A and B are shown apart, each in its own frame.
Chain A
Amino acid sequence: MNMFSKAQDAPKSQAELIYEAQARKERKFRANVGLSWFILLFILVFTFSGQSFTIGSITFGGIKIDTEFIANNLAFIAGGLGETIKISLMSIVLAMILALLAALGRLSTFPPIYALSTFYVSLIRGTPLILQIFFFYLALPQLGILLSPLFSGVLALGLNYGAYMSEIFRAGLSSVGKGQREAAIALGMTPTQTMRRIILPQALRFAIPPVGNEFIAMTKDSALVSVTGFAHELMWRSVKVGRAQFHTLEALIMAAMFYWGMTLILSYFQNVVENRLAKGDR
């Protein structure tokens, strides 16, 4: 130990040592998690590689997938990405509007509005999403409402997510303390001004991270819209080419990779936004 050559450096304090030990531990944990992810990914890839190996008398073999089919149809399936994103974006916008209205409706003291809000949430949450997608697709034309199949899917998704997300906005609204409302009305603000200027901005800020989560979930549920057969998004395309060429498994694997990649990217941005908000630059 060269205790003497370093004598001019101030000795590290107890707190610093503890902090460094903790940081080391955390780094090690992250490195191990990363390594484990890599191994899991390797196993996953191996499973579909068609390769096999033998330990003793037991042979482990992967599923053989047709890489040529993948290469030939990658572009076609990827072509559904845009549609998937389009459906998700339109649906989330619709869902946010409906969720906000439903949450505000729950605050209403006017019975019909309160009833409308609770009726909507109850009905939608009480029935399966896939049923709703079929239902809108089949029912709207009979009512004389002719939407493109894509829009009827968006309508179903938006209505469904709106019902669930109304809880998020409700929590956001109730997260704003009653002192805020009192301060606003003491200044002479009307209830509408108080809601628009004071309560909503704070409630929406509260709701941003959970709405991000819902959006990520929605990109995957948008696959359900493919059941009507007219929205040519990822799922529909993969099922179509898979069936046509008897390679459904390969096609689904491709779609799965696209969905997974999409959610990874969205989760990354979600984290960035969440950290920003957590840091409290408000």
Chain B
Amino acid sequence: MLPIVKISNLDKYFGRLHVLKNISLEVPEREVVCLIGRSGSGKSTLLRCINFLEEPSHGSIEVDGVKVPEDAKGAERRKLIHDVRLRTGMVFQEFNLFPHMSVLENVIEGPVIVKGMDRKQAIELAEKNLNHVDMLWKKDEYPMRLSGGQKQRVAIARALTMEPRVMLFDEPTSALDPELIGEVMNVMKKIAFEGMTMIVVTHEMGFARDVADRVIVMADGGLIEDSKPEDLFNNPKDPRTKALIDRYRAEEQ
């Protein structure tokens, strides 16, 4: 089966800092991949390279058949990147809802402005997705009046309404109060079970263990482990992975 996301020989430098080192990764359709690792391991940067929020220094990215080769330049490159972004949805740690728009306006903004969708049709789709994350009842509120968990659920609906082929989550629960993490996790589980391809950067080991098909551990800009969650949790190969798992177990006690 064709992979939805294919990363080939990706390198990323921030100045002289080599943050991603020759990374290659394929994610097939309907798979849920969790990227874990300590902060600074490069996992967020890798995720952000997929939709070109960060420009890779070397290497190519392919999403749903749209390949952005390393040597694509200028207008051609911009066009390809735009096509990649249309195929990816992103959810941020800080939600990044548009504060000057109501919940519904936030969600229809993408389809109407970017895809040129008819407003009525966009509202219909937005309401369906808001209902899906259980936020339809707040559709006329402004983000300021929502809790963190509610904001994040709206952000998920906003990304889903663009009908992406893959959803990218960048530490979606890290900015939340502990009691609000559950509601966001539940929404993510729901869309995972419905078959959405997902790449999730997270510190929530519980989510990785219960929901992921595959867990990738990153350290020092490289992928040090890539396995099924049960293998990873019961039988970590790399000592750095073992340290991560041990710390998670200790916290869970």
Contact = CB atoms under 8 A, between A and B. Distances in A.
B113 A189 contact: yes
A179 to B, nearest CB: 4
Contact of B85 (A177, A185, A198, A202): A185
Given A197-B109, A197-B113, A186 B88 contact: yes
B217 to A, nearest CB: 25
A183 interface: yes
Given A186-B85, A282-B144, A180 B98 contact: yes
Interface in B40-68: 51, 53
Contacts of A198: 98
Contacts of B115: 188
A205 interface: yes
Contact of B53 (A180, A182, A193): A182
B96 interface: yes
B114 interface: yes
B53 A188 contact: no
A280 interface: yes
B96 A179 contact: yes
Contact of A182 (B88, B96, B100): B96
- Interface footprint category on A: 20 to 34
Contacts of A261: none
A79 interface: no
A126 to B, nearest CB: 36
Contacts of B88: 186
Nearest to A178: B96
Interface residues of B, number: 25
B226 interface: no
Contacts of A282: 99-100, 142, 144
Nearest to A190: B82
B209 to A, nearest CB: 28
B85 A188 contact: yes
A179 B92 contact: yes
Interface string A177-219: 1011011111111100100011001100100000000000000
Contacts of B158: 187
Contact of A202 (B53, B99, B142, B159): B99
Interface string B109-131: 11001110000000000000000
Contacts of B113: 189, 193, 197
B114 A189 contact: yes
Contacts of B159: 186-187
A188 B94 CA distance: 19
B16 to A, nearest CB: 23
A125 to B, nearest CB: 31
A99 B229 CA distance: 56
Contacts of A190: 82
A200 B81 CA distance: 24
A197 B112 CA distance: 12
B10 to A, nearest CB: 19
A190 B114 CA distance: 8
A189 B96 CA distance: 15
A194 to B, nearest CB: 10
B232 interface: no
B184 interface: no
B192 interface: no
B86 interface: yes
Contact of A183 (B92, B142, B144): B92
A186 B91 CA distance: 9
A262 to B, nearest CB: 32
A280 B99 CA distance: 10
Given A193-B113, A197-B113, A188 B162 contact: yes
Nearest to A193: B113
B64 to A, nearest CB: 14
Nearest to A281: B142
B36 to A, nearest CB: 22
A183 B114 CA distance: 13
B92 A202 contact: no
B90 interface: yes
Interface in A153-186: 177, 179-180, 182-186
Contacts of A185: 53, 85
14 contacts: A177-B94, A179-B92, A182-B96, A183-B90, A183-B92, A184-B98, A188-B82, A188-B86, A188-B114, A188-B162, A189-B114, A197-B113, A280-B144, A282-B99
Given A187-B114, A282-B99, 12 more contacts: A182-B53, A182-B92, A183-B98, A187-B85, A187-B162, A188-B82, A188-B114, A188-B115, A189-B110, A189-B114, A198-B98, A202-B99
